[in-house]
Amino acid sequence: MQIRDRYAPSPTGLQHIGGIRTALFNYLFAKSQGGQFILRLEDTDRARFDPSFVQNLYDTFEWLGIKWDEGPDVGGGTGPYIQSERFELYKKYAAELITKDKAYYCFCSAERLDRIREEREAARSSETGYDRHCRSISPTEAAERVKVGEAYTIRLKIPLGESTKFHDHLLGDIEWKNDDVNPDPVLLKSDGFPTYHLANIVDDHLMGITHVLRAQEWLSSTPLHVIMYAAFGWEHPEYCHLPMVMGQDGKKLSKRHGATSIDEFRRQGYIPEALLNYVALLGASYEEGKDIYTLDELAARFSLDKLNKAPAIFDYKKLEWYNGQYIRMKSDAELTELCLPYAIEAGLFGKAGDKPSPEQRSTFTAAMPLIKERLVFLQEAAEKPGYLFSEPSVPDAVEFIPKKMDLQQTISLLQQGRELVKPLAEAADDAGAEAFIKEWAEKNGVKLGDLMMPLRVAITGARVSPPLFGSLRILGVEKSLKRVDKALAALTTH
């Protein structure tokens, strides 16, 4: 048997962490088994459907680097892969259930259904759902009423007084009383549109889906789906209801915990490989003592037997750690390309949207080794090297003064530091610069930290900055001396 699973989102919102985790696990499972991963768009909710959400789905998965074997944009042998293009199929199979006496026509108006609900609420009744009023109508009478044009829906006949059993790969054997299943749910609406349940079952069967991996919030729908498969006389797929993704407060992950849509993570400057690596670990284990995986390595190691029953906790700090690790794995040229859009948008090279000149681009690339170890998000590359592109204002005098020193001592230190700018800027590398200044400080009886503090502030405009030696090399002797002189002038007139 060839494994076939799917990701079947409803394009009614942006792609978010929960959906991406479901898609990723389906992708990894299919690839681990040499199977097929299918994308299907379940767009029957026309009230909330928006084409921009479809584009967001495609853009998101292109950014993540996840590709499906069959889908709306790549085709395949079991299409169409968009539910709104399959309506005739749903009508056909709903009618088949009528013929098999597994479903029936319902002529109840919306007004009657509202009245029943209101009466139950007034009586504080525990009954919910449809009261099966039309279930007892004879097939002959129902057919006549349909023939004369009376509005109808088609409802599934839930077998009464029975239980439905199925096996879940993660949760084990599950038994559900049919009395607790939604009473005779609608399969086909009065406008001819299918409900989610009908379309989902028909599509999974016709597309040959062998395994359904989905969030545990769908567990309560599974008994209904198993009943529907039995009604058609079809074998249902294997189920695996994935552990929930929670915030650190133990509640379902949502916007209140932070970013959840993938667009937000992109805007913040996350690397797709880092996001995929972390999300793949939410509820699954792979190899002891290993944290960093490529997508291919994850696929090779993924197993349903290594899923966890307990909810997964989404830790933003851990994700930030992963992002930092992937940033540091990039070459300077790769990191430049990743960071450049953020720098352009932030106006690092002039106004917002201005592209860098050849000289500015060269400086930006040269800055990558200086900021790489300090980056958590790509967008920070628009701020951390800012002093290399525009001269910073001279900070208040207090920023220059090392601990236990006064202004005059600091001015003296900066004057001495000025004499070191040229040899430091012309040193071949950091090691050479560090050896030179250490020797100079020891020979002249100056603490190295005290010597470097005012020089760093004069050059970068801040006490905490990317490495000073590399900054001096990038700026060059002339620009560096100009900044030191400007700082000395400000300090001596303080």
- So which residues are the catalytic ones? 255
Dig out the tokens for 145 from the structure: 């009423």
Using DSSP, state whether 459 is helix, strand or coil. helix
- In DSSP terms, 240 is beta-bridged to 213
- Cα distances from 493 to residues 6, 396, 410, 411, 490, in angstroms, run 71, 12, 13, 11, 5
- Report helix, strand or coil for 155: strand
Are 224 and 205 spatial neighbours (Cβ–Cβ below 8 Å)?
no
- What is the sign, positive or negative, of the torsion defined by CA atoms of 66, 67, 68, 71? positive
For residues 111 and 161, the answer to whether their CB atoms sit within 8 Å is: no
The set of residues, in sequence order, having a beta carbon less than 8 Å from that of 281 and lying 6+ positions away, is: none
Q: Residues 205, 211, 214, CA angle at the centre, nearest 5°? A: 105
Q: Where are the alpha helices (DSSP H) in 347-389?
A: 358-371
CB neighbours of residue 120 within 10 Å: 15
Per-residue burial over 74-84, b if 16 or more Cβ lie within 10 Å, else e, is: eebebbebbbe
Structure tokens at 239: 């189920």
Which is nearest to 110 in space by CA: 82, 71, 152?
A: 152
347-363 burial, b for 16+ CB within 10 Å, e for fewer?
A: ebbeeeeeebeeebeeb
Q: Which residues on neighbouring strands pair with residue 172, listed in sequence order?
A: 168
Q: How far is CA 337 from the centre of its chain?
A: 21
Does the N-terminal peptide bond of residue 80 adopt cis geometry, omega within 30 degrees of 0? yes
Angstrom distance (rounded) from CA 302 to CA 305: 9
CA distance 68 to 169: 23
* CA distance from start to end of the chain: 81
List CB contacts of 190: < 8 A, sequence separation 6 or more. Answer: 151, 152, 153
Widest CA span of the chain, in angstroms?
Answer: 108
Residue 447: exposure state from Cβ atoms within 10 A (0-12, 13-18, ≥19): middle
